[in-house]
Each structure stands twice: as structure tokens, then as C-alpha cells.
A = this chain, B = another copy of it.
Amino acid sequence: MIIPYERLLSFCTDCFMAYGFSQPDALRVTDVLLTADLFGIESHGIQRLARYHDEIRRGMVVVGAQPAVVRETPVSAIIDGHQAMGQLVGSFAMNLAIDKARQTGIGLVVVRNSNHYGIAGYYTRMACEQDLIGVSMTNTEAIMVPTFGRRAMLGTDPIAVAMPADPIPFLFDAATTVVPRGKLEVMRKKGQPLPLGWALDASGQVSADAGAVLEQIIGQLGGGILPLGGVGETLGGHKGYGLALICELFTGVLAGGPTANHLSSVAASADLSHSFWAIDYGMFDDKKAIRSRFSAYLEELRCSDKAEGQNRIYTHGEKEIENQKARLRDGIPVLDKTWQEMESIASELGLYDAGLFARL
């Protein structure tokens, strides 16, 4: 099913206002969600609405809560998210990092006591749009099994980095697992088997069953997603595991929140931690010169020799910007299962009668 962007924007904003968020806050949360859908990262888009609905209903997300600075220096801050919606905490924190970068050259802001904040790349793009380098990380409930282990002890633990470039900015946003949890959720909704090398079952064997792996993770029965680099050390699985540890360090450990293995998606509070960096690259040289040589390098990469059978080399952000353009024009694909969830949420919130919604 393909839905025009404007309809999803209006529907999503109405939902968040119905929960009690102010219009600017509802628009911000909606923008983070729909940016994921526009970028083609459906795993983090409107298919997550049911999950946010549940978290707001349960009081895990506190509507109207305001994040607050606990301690700061000219280059740093630590923020208590006060269980506010993660997208609001994240925007507040990245804006503070951007302010600090404008003053000193670098802002590094860590956050505790937050909720799921959507795609990490949303916040790095905020810095990028201000002509700064942006970095963001978040921990999540445990889903990654460390090398030689069989129990999830680290999160999907994404690392995002953005840097301005012409004509297409560099927008890197990647889980340190082989794939993020959301991709397993989508495979489960589609009823498709997982590629081998994504996930382990409770005994530590490679599994193709998305539903079983997700249930085992939620039930803390063992198993989980593999680190980038896969099983063991031969192809570098210990590197993905180490990158996740770096993410846990710069989120939960520095911010004073729990690490992934002490988080639970069914607990009273999500207790997630994030970090946000903004770097004014003008500290090092004329900004135009730096931006121009980075842009030239990205172009060299895109134009370099292709592997047999391939006709294109991408730089990071290219697919996202192209998807965004196409989906703003043609609409956003929504899975039937997600559509049913939206219908049920609309009904519960008294936003639409069923007949009206059916014609959306």
C-alpha cells in the first residue's frame, strides 16, 4: 500500500497531539519517524508507531516531560531525558551540541533516561544542515551476542556520522550488528526467512527464523543478532563487537545510564542513553576547501571501477536522498500489518471512524 507523505504527516501528527504532545513536539516526533520512511529505512519509520503507542500508554514515555542539563562545560553537557519522547530529547541534545560547537569548535553531549529516538542519522543531519560534522550513538536493549557468546549483551548500538558534501551529503548511519532489530521485525511481518549470518538462536547456532529470534531476545532466553563481521573472529566479528562496546561507552557508561544488558523493552522505563557530537570543521582549514575535497573524493568513489555484474557504487546518504525525492513524489509504502496497527490506533484515539480511515 502506497500512502502520500502528506497524509502520513497529518495522521502521525494528529496521533501525537492526541497523546497530549504540543503541536511543535508532535511535528518533531513525526518528522523523525517519516524521515526514516522517506529515506527508505522502513524499519524505523511508521511501522514503529504501534510500539511508541504502547510505550506512551504504559507511561514508559512521559508526555510533557522536559529534558534538563545536569552538568556542562563549554565543550560538553550531560542531560537527564526525564523519560521524555526520545525524538524530543535527541533534538534538544543535538541543538545544544551544535551551540557548543559554534562557540568552542566541539560539542559533546551525552544523555541518560531517554527513550527510543528513531534513526541516529536524523540528529547527525541536523548538524550537517548547520555545516558541521555530526556524530550520534544510542544504546538499546541487548540484542547483540558478543564474539564466542550465546547471550545478547550489547545493543544494536548504531553509530551515525554526517558531513556536508556537494551535491550529496555523507550520511552514514549503521547498527554495529550485521542488521538492526527493525530489519528482523520487518522480515517477521513479511514472513520471510533471515539470510544466514544475521542471527543466532538460543544455543548459539545461526538461525533463519526472525520470529523465534525476536521472542528469545524479548524473553531473555539467549541468542540474538551477530556483530558486524559475523561469527567468530575470522571475518572480523570481534570488530563489530568492539564498535558496539564503544557505543555503550559513549552512551550508557559516560551518561550514567544502564548498559544494554540491563535494559528491557518491557520495563517501566526504557532508560536509554545517547550521545551527540557536533564538530566545526572550520577549525582546521577553510571550510569550502575541506568540503570541496571531500565532495571530490565521494565523486571519485562513485565513479571508480565497478565489480563484474555491478553498475553502481554508492556513497552513504545517496540512496536515502534519492528515496526521499521519489517518496515525496510517489508516496510511502506501508505494510498491511502496519496499516492495521494504524487503523487500530486511530480508532483507540478516536481520530477517525473506521469508514473514513479505510478511504485514507
Contacts and interface: CB of A to CB of B under 8 A. Distances in A.
Interface in A222-264: 222, 228-230, 234-236, 238-240, 242-243, 245-246, 248-249, 253-256, 259, 261
Contacts of A293: 253, 256, 259
A235 B197 contact: yes
Interface string A3-37: 00000000000000000000000000000000000
Contacts of A170: 245, 249
Contact of A308 (B150, B253, B256, B306): B150
B153 A253 contact: no
A146 interface: yes
A357 interface: no
Interface in A123-148: 133, 145-148
Of A78, A249, A284, chain B has the most CB atoms within 10 Å of the CB of A284
A84 interface: no
Given A146-B313, A149-B305, 4 more contacts: A71-B283, A174-B242, A228-B240, A256-B285
A245 B304 CA distance: 15
A257 to B, nearest CB: 10
Of A151, A204, A235, A259, chain B has the most CB atoms within 10 Å of the CB of A235
A255 B284 contact: yes
Interface residues of A, number: 80
Contacts of A297: 248, 253, 259, 261
Contact of A161 (B147, B178, B246, B294): B246
A106 B76 contact: yes
A290 interface: yes
B153 A304 contact: yes
Given A148-B312, A239-B228, A108 B279 contact: yes
Given A110-B284, A300-B261, A254 B290 contact: yes
A297 B260 CA distance: 10
Interface in A306-325: 306-308, 310, 312-316
B284 A78 contact: yes
Contacts of A148: 306-307, 310, 312-314
A211 interface: no
Contacts of A316: 238, 242, 245
Given A283-B76, A297-B259, A306 B150 contact: yes
5 contacts: A78-B285, A110-B284, A170-B245, A238-B316, A254-B281
A172 interface: yes
- Which 10 A-B pairs have CB atoms at the shortest separation, nearest pair first? A204-B307, A148-B310, A76-B283, A174-B239, A172-B242, A151-B305, A150-B307, A253-B294, A242-B316, A259-B297
